Chain A
Amino acid sequence: MNSPVNYMQRLRIDDKELRARRAFYEITDEDLARLAGLRAFGERNGAAIVDALYQLLLEQPESRTFFPDDNTVSHVKAKQRDYFLGLFQGRLDLAYVEDRLRVGAVHERIGMPPKLYIGAYSRYLRLLFDRLLAELPVDEAHAAYRSLAKIVAFDKGLAIDTYIAANLNTVARHQAAIRELSTPVIRVHRRILLLPLVGTVDSHRAAQIMETLLLRVVEEQARAVIVDIAGVPTVDTMVADHLLKTTEAVRLLGAETILTGISAQIARTVVQLGVDISTMHTRARLEDGIELALALLGRAITTTKAD
């Protein structure tokens, strides 16, 4: 289960950040007062503007898919009217931001692409402008429009931030999953661990491999650790160095490392690079490594029936 993202926390929105955003969007107290004064206008026109907005959204095939039936449409229209009236609250505090982030998060969750979400604002503003011009003297209509445009830009900024934060959250979860998958330490026998390495080993991963492996050695009180590198595409100087360091660290704990899965090509590369891994136990095949590990522990596999 994905836990819901706390966007306020993730975007680090506090009083200071809110002030900075307000300053950047040039939203003054005068703007807010002007909008509060237009509340009656908002209440009068909300329903019509929201209807016109959904006309656009239901017209376009791509956006229509998000509103499968009439129930959904009437539900989101009601929500949209709340949102619309929110523009005329005359306040811009943390509660307002939280409310806006929630709206953005809902759209992100249902998978509405930002182009539609942001695009809808375009019609929103145009509809608003038309209504303002119809009801107010030109000067006032322009002033009101400027104030509204600022707030709408502020809301758009929050919406984009929500989308980005949600994506970053997903990426972070995937990275954690990959990290976990990249170091599966398996117990193959009493006090014998196996670490099958697959894929490229960079320094970040190498550090993580070492950490995980050492913890497991102590946890399992392992005496032998088999590191199988059959799935590692190339062993260069750096990878060899990581392996040597891991071996040393494992030795410090009191266990031994056996390196298996060394193909002819890897053997050739390692020697040609001049890397000395002669301090490690090495075997070509995993099964040989398991037998060596058992031998280190004074155990052996015996045949009970002739092949």
Chain B
Amino acid sequence: MPGPIPILRVADNLLVTVQTDLHDAVADAFQEDLLVTIERTGAAGLLIDVSGLDLVDSYVARVLVDTAKMAKLMGTETVIVGIRPEVAATLVRMGFTMSGVRTALNIDEGLLLLPRPRK
């Protein structure tokens, strides 16, 4: 069964655009889906675009950070792109700084941070 959020494969990387609110159930399925896809494809990089989210609570932030850590264990680099200004301000105010996760302004910038495609 396909997950709630489509995962695109671009060259050696996975590209995910989150546009719906990540409720608890959705977030879990999303994480599971991503990890299985990484296992299957052995992707070098994972790019999560959250520009569609105008609300990121601490739960969702944790899911994103955890997913990045899990991907790292499987050898996949994660970049989160498109965090909105108001979202960034709220996260920092809550003391949630997503340390250890790389961030970029947009998908273009994010792709530059990911490993070069293997020849």
Contacts and interface: CB of A to CB of B under 8 A. Distances in A.
Contacts of A253: 83, 85, 88, 103, 105
Interface residues of B, number: 19
Interface in A214-259: 214-215, 217-218, 221-223, 245-246, 248-255
A133 interface: no
Nearest to B98: A252
Interface residues of A, number: 20
Contacts of B20: none
Contacts of B84: 218
A252 B92 contact: yes
Interface of A is mostly: helix
B105 A218 contact: yes
B92 A248 contact: yes
Contacts of B19: none
A218 B81 CA distance: 12
A211 interface: yes
B24 interface: no
Given A214-B88, A218-B85, A254 B97 contact: no
Contacts of A221: 105-106
B85 A214 contact: yes
Interface string A287-302: 0000000000000000
A84 B106 CA distance: 69
A36 interface: no
Given A214-B88, A218-B105, A221-B105, A254 B93 contact: no
A254 B105 contact: yes
Contact of B103 (A210, A211, A246, A252): A252
15 contacts: A211-B89, A217-B85, A218-B85, A222-B105, A246-B92, A248-B92, A249-B89, A251-B103, A252-B91, A252-B98, A252-B103, A253-B83, A253-B85, A253-B103, A253-B105
Interface of B: 81, 83-89, 91-93, 97-98, 103-106, 109-110
Given A217-B85, A254-B81, 11 more contacts: A211-B85, A211-B86, A245-B93, A248-B97, A252-B83, A252-B87, A252-B88, A252-B92, A253-B103, A254-B105, A255-B105
A-B residue pairs, 7 tightest by C-beta? A214-B85, A254-B104, A254-B105, A252-B88, A249-B88, A249-B92, A248-B97
